[in-house]
Structure 1
Amino acid sequence: MINLAPLHTFGFSSKATDLLCIDDLTSIPELDHSPYFILGEGSNTVFLEDYQGTILKVALSGVSVKETDKEYQVRTAAGENWHKLVVTLLDKGIFGTENLALIPGTVGAAPIQNIGAYGREFADFCHSVETINLDTGEIDILSAKDCQFAYRDSIFKSAAMPRTLITHVNLRFAKDWQRVTNYGELQQLPGEPGAKEIFAKVVEIRKNKLPDPAQFGNAGSFFKNPYISQSSYSDLKKRWPAIPGFTINSGIVKVPAAWFIDTLGFKGKVIGGIICHQNQPLVLANYNNGQPAELLTLAREIKRAVKKEFDVELENEVRLMGAQGLITL
């Protein structure tokens, strides 16, 4: 059995049947129909039980850049660290990812989750995603449209993409860069900040708000920010005038899940060794040798309380792994 504690940032001492490291395309194994799970850096996955299958650890590496008159074309392997890629691109004068600084995980995980922060999403600059079918060995390239990106979602989470491994992503960045500073604390930046100033501010914010997984095991935002109807938001606004909201379109409003959790008094709440973080209640952290059952208890308590008080259904953003595969709250 393989110890999974160092392979996911929550650090629970779960195990798996086997581990295979994929560091080039020739090392991709021929798989039978036994269970397996594809893992990058484990920053968005929590292993709650011993997994009865094989972990495929993605370690493909390499970044290449081509340039045209109007854009930069970047191809990067799925095993590259996302934040290091952001830094590399900024150093090369390629701007666009600065709002997504310090998001943990690999490049290959970015399209699955359609990672996003501070007004930008991965989908904004994705051109295509290269994949390989683990049953047939067939290689395919999905356009950004084919990826069906949505808020923290993509086709890669659906049953339409079984047994598929992302090997590379292709990104496009216009040389006519447009800053995005109209979200959250970025609005406090004076004047017309450059990409590196935005990057520095995002890093500062994230370091101040979010616990370092090396000190307190966590997987970042545990819940998705819910999308609710404009009418539901208006009703909530009558009862809680301070409720924040970001209009997505004429009928949909995104409300920070942290606001619901904080308003109900969960910030700083502890169950066993698990805490709802005192600076960012959207983060549940393993601060004192917490156990999986304690994490589930706290998460489910939050979910039930938000549903009861606000009639809003929170969904976990973190992937929760049981013995046979993904589970839900």
Structure 2
Amino acid sequence: MSLNDLPLPSACDLAPLHTLGLVSQARALHVLERAEQLPAILQSGSGPLHILGGGSNLVPAAQVEGTVLKVELKGRTLLGEDEYAWYVAAAAGENWHEFVMWTLAQGWPGLENLALIPGTVGAAPIQNIGAYGVELKDRFCALTALSLEDGASCVFTPEQCAFGYRDSIFKQGQAGRWLISEVLFRLPKRWEAKLDYGDLAARLAGQTPTGQAVAEAVMAARSSKLPDPAQLGNAGSFFHNPIVSAELAADLASAHPGMPVFPQAGGQAKLAAGWLIEQAGWKGRRLGPVGMYEKQALVLVNHGGADASHVAALMAAVQADVLQRFGVALTPEPVWW
């Protein structure tokens, strides 16, 4: 494909293309519908290249420099199966939740705990999305990525992805170098419902825990806590749950009875960022047009008309208060453009 085959990029209002709904303009935007378009797009661009999926984990500047590339690669299929698992592939532009529900409709459970997470399939490995005791890495087999230097294709194994808590190599050493085009999942045939996290067991009391039933319980639980971005702009959980030493966690729990502490491997512990933020007085509190959600203090919401500067000011205020009260630093989850 040559440059002459590409539609001209156009200036674009990014507000409807990301879930926070911030005031934001891109100088140029391309839509990627086929992988073979990428080399020509790379040649045509100037300035930084920003990859946009569902926009659910994003804080864009009021004026985004360079080129935005909207990933609209589509397709999902069963590549094969053996006695242990189904191997299911999905293109990067597929809506994540719709893909999860499609796998369940085919009779392939395994992703149900990750239902209703916003975003696209291609973004899911970058963040190693997780919810209700399951992370993407638990069902991951491999992915294909395209080089942002020349468009060349490369396959990444689980080990090469270096998954961590809300982390992967695509956020660390390989950040900005690859565009994930397809993800392959391994969905187990010897499936067991995972209900030992949150209130899923209570919601499913008296029911047979099928994959579909678990997904419906997850959707109900998420909907009770998290606002619909179509109604109230948000990027989901705005801060990582901090990982601290077991000793610090024990000291904090002693000083603050009722503090949730989740033991981790290697002598560490995970704290609940939402609890810390709520105790610091930010649940339901606003700073200008943005605030922390009244039902879940971990979620930063846009009440209308906000831009990235408003988000940055609220983020800094919440971080400062949590650090002052607990001595714990909060790290934001979203990508900043």
Question: In the alignment, is residue 56 of structure 1 matched against residue 69 of structure 2?
Answer: yes
Distance apart, 1:137 and its partner CA: 2.5
Q: Distance in 1 between matches of 2:166 and 2:71?
A: 21
Confirm or deny that 1:143 pairs with 2:157.
yes
Matched, 1:300 2:316: yes
Query: What is the rounded CA distance, in whole Å, between the counterparts of 1:203 and 1:151 in structure 2?
Result: 22
**Of the candidates 166, 190, 193, which is equivalent to residue 205 of structure 2?**
190
Which runs of 5 or more structure 1 residues have no equivalent in the other structure? 322-329
The answer to whether the 8 Å contact 2:23/2:306 transfers is no
> How far does the alpha carbon of each residue in 1:167-215 deviate from its partner, in whole angstroms, 9 at most, with x for none?
0001101100022111111232326622222111110011111111101
AA partner of residue 20 (structure 2): F
Report what 1:17 is aligned to.
27
Q: Does residue 102 of structure 2 align to residue 92 of structure 1?
A: no
The residue identity in structure 2 corresponding to 1:163 is R
Decide whether the 8 Å contact of 1:262 with 1:281 is kept in 2.
Answer: yes
Query: What SS class does the counterpart of residue 275 from structure 1 fall into?
Result: strand
1:155 is paired with a residue whose SS is coil
Give the AA of the match of 2:18: H
Q: 1:2 aligns with which of 8, 12, 30?
A: 12
Alignment partners' CA distance in 2, 1:215 and 1:108:
25
Query: In the alignment, which of 274, 281, 286 is matched to residue 265 of structure 1?
Result: 281
- Report the aligned-residue RMSD: 1.4
Matches within 5 A, 1:233-272: 233-249=249-265, 251-272=267-288
- Aligned 8 A contact 1:22 1:56 in 2: yes
Query: 2:17 corresponds to which letter in structure 1?
Result: L
Task: Give a deviation string over 1:33-57, Cα, whole Å, max 9, x none.
Answer: 6311011011110113211110010
1:100 Cα deviation after fit:
0.4
Matched letter for residue 37 of structure 2? S
Q: Separation in 2 of the partners of 1:294 and 1:13?
A: 11
Task: Give how far 1:139 is off.
Answer: 1.0
In 2: Cα distance, 1:115 partner to 1:96 partner: 14
The yes-or-no answer on 1:129 pairing with 2:143 is yes
Q: Percent identity?
A: 41
Equivalent residue number for residue 37 of structure 2: 27
Q: Does residue 177 of structure 2 align to residue 163 of structure 1?
A: yes
- Please list the CA deviations of residues 197-251 of structure 1 after superposition, one character each: whole Å capped at 9, or x if unmatched: 2111110011111111101111101001111111001100111110011112251
Q: 2:297 — aligned with what?
A: 281
Name the counterpart of 1:326.
none
Report the counterpart of residue 86 of structure 2 in structure 1. 72
Letter in 2 for 1:146: Q
Alpha-carbon distance in 2 for matches of 1:72, 1:154: 24
Change (3 A) 1:178 1:10: same
**Alpha-carbon separation, structure 1, partners of 2:186 and 2:165:** 20
* TM-score, normalization by structure 1: 0.94
Pairing 1:309-320 to 2, within 5 Å after superposition: 309-320=325-336
- Quote the offset at 1:7 in angstroms: 1.2
Q: Which amino acid aligns with 2:205?
A: P
Aligned pairs, number: 321
Are 1:232 and 2:248 counterparts? yes
The alignment's TM-score, normalised by the length of structure 2, stands at 0.92
Within the candidate set 27, 37, 42, 2:50 is matched to 37
**C-alpha distance in 1 between matches for 2:298 and 2:24:** 24
Question: How far, CA to CA, are the matches of 1:9 and 1:225 in structure 2?
Answer: 21
Tell me, in whole angstroms, the C-alpha distance in 1 between the residues paired with 2:192 and 2:163. 21
Tell me how far 1:16 sits from its aligned partner.
1.2
- The letter of the residue matching 2:192 is Q
